Chain A
Amino acid sequence: MSEATIERGLNAFREQMNAPIASFFSSCVNCGMCAEACLFYTETGDPKYTPINKLEPFRRVWEQEYTLWGKLKSLLGMSKPVTDELLEEWEPLVYDACTLCGRCSMVCPVGNDISYMIRRAREGFVAAGYAPEGIKGASRRAITIGSPMGVKYPALAAQIKHIEADTGLTIPVDVEGVDYMALLSSMEIMNFPEYMEALARIFKQAGVTWTISSEAFEATNSGIQIGSSDIARELVNRVVVAADKLKVKYVISPECGHAYTAIRWEGPNLIGRPYNFKVVHILELLDELRASGRLKTEGMEDDRLTFHDPCQIVRKGGVLEPPRNLLNMVASNFVDMQDPREMNWCCGGGGGVSANERAEELRIKVFKRKKSQLDDLNVDTLVTACANCRLIIEEGLEEYRMEIPVVGLTEMIAEHLVDEKSE
C-alpha cells in the first residue's frame, strides 16, 4: 500500500502547472480586492482568508520551479521551501475556507481565476496527505460503496418503490435506448426524494423517455471536492460506462452544483475524450421543454420569493437564464437578491466544505452573508437548484432562527404541472 508524501504533493503541483496558472501568478499585485469578494473574508475580517493567500504553497512551487528568477533565488537560498508544515498550515485555508465558488475570479482586476487554481492546488494537497478527514471519508465511501453518503442501490430502490406506490408514477430503471439517463445526488435520494417524483411527473407530461441506472445513479463526485483527478475519474467513469451501456443520448445532471461541474465540465477531460452523449442540467432541460411548449404549468405562486443561484450551476456552469425563465412561469412575485446571477454569494457549503465537519463552525459564521442578503429582501420562500445549497441554507436559517422555507426549483415546477387527468 502506498502513502501520501510531500514528494507526491510537490509532483502534483508541478504537474498541475500550466500557462493560465503561470499567467495568474505572474499578474497578482496583492491588491487585496479578491478578499472583498470572498465570504470567508467579509464575514470574519481575517486577512488569512484572502483568496490569493490560500494559494501560497502552490505559488511557491510556481516561483521556485517555473520561473528563471525563482530558480536563481532558490539557488541562492533566498526562497522558502514548500514543506509538510506549510501544507498542514494551509490545509484549512484550502479546504475549510474555500467553496470553489469562483466569486473572486469574477472581480480580480488582472483576471486571475483563483478558484481554478485552488481546485488544482488541491491535487497537491491530497497527494501529500493534507485533506480533511470528512472529505477523505466521503471519497472512500464514494469509491467503495458508490456514494459519499453511503447510499447503496437497495436504498434507492426502496425510495423508488415508495414513490411509485404513493403516486402511481413509474420510475424507469436500467431501460436501454431511452433519450435521457437521470443522475441523482445522495442528498436527493435521502433528504429530498421529492426531486425524483418531480422528474417522473414532468417527464411523463412532456413525453420524455428516461431511465435511472442502477449501476451509476450517483451524480456527486467527491474526487472533485477533495481535488483528486484520479478519484474523480473513477467516479465519472462509472457514469460514462453506464450511459454508454444504456445507449442514452443525454445524461441529466441533477439539482446539485458540483455534480454538474464534475460531469459536465471536468468529466470529458478526466477520461481524456469527448462523451458519446450530451450532458444537460435538469434546469436546462426543463427550460428547453418550456420553450418548445412541452412543459405546461398552471397557477402562480404569489408568495414573495427569491432564487439562490448555486455557484457551480450559474457562475461556473453557465446555466444563467433557465432558472429565471422557469420561475417566471410559476411565480408572480419573484425578486432577485442583491448581487444575483453570476455575482451571487455562496451558501458557504460548496467545494466539499459541507462534507468537512471541521469546517462547520466557520461555515455557520460565513452564512451571515446569505443571511444579510435574505434580511434585505424579506421573502416568504427561497428557491434554489442545488441539494447541497438547500441543505446548507436550511441549516443556516435554523442556526440564525429564520423561518424561510427552502424549495427546489424542479419540485416547484412539478407542483404547478397541468393536471392531465382533469383536462
Chain B
Amino acid sequence: MAEELKRIGKTLGERLRERGVSRRGFLKFCSATASMMALPPAMVPAIAASLEKAKRPSVIWLSFQECTGCTESLTRSHSPSVENLIFDHISLDYHHTLQVASGAAAEAAREAAMHENEGKYIVVVDGSIPLGNPGYSVIAGISNLQMLEETVAGAAAVVAVGTCAAFGGLPQASPNPTGAVSVSDIVKDKPVVNVSGCPPIPTVITGVLAHFLTFGSLPELDSLGRPMVFFGKSIHDRCYRRPFYDKGLFAETFDDEGARKGWCLYRLGCKGPMTYNACATTKWNQGTSWPVESGHGCLGCSEPNFWDAGGFYNALSIPDSDITRQAAYVLGAGVALGAAAGAINRNKQSKAASAHETVTIDDLDKKS
C-alpha cells in the first residue's frame, strides 16, 4: 500500500525515467505531441515542463454497450511506447475489463475514486447507453444510464471513446433495438470530448489526455465535439491516393489493374471524402498501414450513423436507387405524355383554323 501511494505521488517525468525513457526520448514525444496537436515548436519546452510536473489524474473508464474494441486498440500495441506510458501514468481507478477486482469490490473502487477526486477526475466512456429498457445493459445491478449519470456528476470532463459512445455507433444502427444513445445525448452539463472511430486511433486517445495533462483543459473541438487537431481534415484531403482521384483513375474491383496500381477507391465506396479522422497521417499499428493503404475504402467509422450511410461499397454521392433500370418506362411515359400534350396542341391549332372568320376590310374596326 505504501508502495502504491508512493507511485501515485510520482510525477510523469519521474515515472518515465524510472521506466528507462531518456530525456531525449521524452522531448521527442513532446515534439510529436506538439506537432500532432498543431502547436508551434516553441511550445515544446512548455509541454515538456507541464508533463514533467503532471500528477496522475484519476480516470474512471465506463464500458456500456460496446465490443471492447476500443480498449483493445489502446492496450494491444505490440511494443511499449511513450503513449502506453502516458496511459500507464494515469490512475485508472475503474475499468471492468482490465481491473483485477470484480463485483462489489470493483464498484467500491469506482465510488472511492469519485469521492477522493471529486470535481477533478476524468470519465472515459466506451459504448452507447440503451434507453429502450434499462435491463438491456446492467453492471453490478446498476443500469448504464444510472451509472453514467452518477459517475459524471463529479467529473471534470468526459471523454467519449469510440463511435458508440460518441455517436451511438453500431448499437444505434437501424432499427436500434435497444434505443441506444450517445454520451453527449445524456451528458449536457460537463465538457464532452468525442474521440470517435471504430475503434479510435490510440494516439488520438493519448493525445487528448496529453492535452489535458499539459494545459489542464480540453482541446479545441469541431462541431461534432471531436478534437480539431485530429479530426480537422478529411481522410480524402490527406489521402495518398488523392492524385488518382483528381486524375479520374479508379479501381473498379478489388483485384483489377487499377486496384493493383493503387488507384482511388471512390468507386468502391470509399467514404474518405465525408470522413474526418487522422488515419491517413497517423496510420495504425505503430504507423504500419491504414485501411486505404491496405486496399480497402474508408468505411467512415468516425462519422455519425456510418453503419446506415447507404452501404460500404456504394460510392458516396451516387444515387443508390435502381431508377436507371426503370429508365425505359420513364422515357416511355414521357413520350406518351408528350405525344398527348402535342396532340392537344395540334387539336387546338386546327380548331382555331376552322373557327377562323375571314378578315375583310369591313371588319377592321371594333364596334364600340
Contact = CB atoms under 8 A, between A and B. Distances in A.
Given A3-B366, A129-B364, A8 B349 contact: no
Contacts, number: 72
B355 interface: yes
A144 B341 CA distance: 44
Interface stretch (A135-143, A180-188, A393-401): A135-143
Contact of A66 (B348, B356, B357, B360): B348
Contact of A4 (B348, B353, B355, B365): B365
Prevailing SS type, chain A contact patch: helix
16 contacts: A1-B362, A1-B363, A2-B357, A2-B360, A2-B362, A3-B363, A4-B359, A4-B363, A8-B357, A14-B351, A127-B357, A136-B361, A139-B364, A143-B360, A228-B359, A230-B358
B365 to A, nearest CB: 6
Contact of B356 (A12, A17, A68, A140): A12
Interface of B: 341, 345, 348-349, 351-353, 355-367
A338 B368 CA distance: 48
B348 A230 contact: no
Given A8-B357, A230-B358, A136 B365 contact: yes
B344 to A, nearest CB: 8
Contacts of A128: 366
A144 B358 CA distance: 17
Contacts of A143: 360-361
Interface of A: 1-5, 8, 11-12, 14-15, 17-18, 22, 65-66, 68, 126-129, 131, 136, 139-140, 143-144, 226, 228-231
Query: What 7 A-B pairs come out closest when comparing CB atoms?
Result: A14-B352, A129-B366, A15-B352, A230-B359, A2-B363, A228-B359, A140-B361
B357 A129 contact: no
Contacts of A131: 364
A158 to B, nearest CB: 27
Contacts of B362: 1-2
Contacts of A231: 359-361
A89 to B, nearest CB: 15
A338 B353 CA distance: 44
Nearest to B351: A14
A231 B365 CA distance: 14
Given A8-B359, A15-B352, A15-B356, 16 more contacts: A1-B363, A2-B363, A3-B363, A3-B365, A4-B359, A4-B366, A15-B353, A15-B355, A17-B345, A17-B352, A127-B357, A127-B359, A129-B363, A140-B361, A144-B361, A228-B359
Nearest to B345: A66
B340 to A, nearest CB: 9
B343 to A, nearest CB: 12
Contacts of B348: 14, 17, 65-66
Contacts of B363: 1-4, 129
B100 to A, nearest CB: 76
A65 to B, nearest CB: 6
B175 to A, nearest CB: 41
Nearest to B356: A15
B361 A18 contact: no
B252 to A, nearest CB: 40
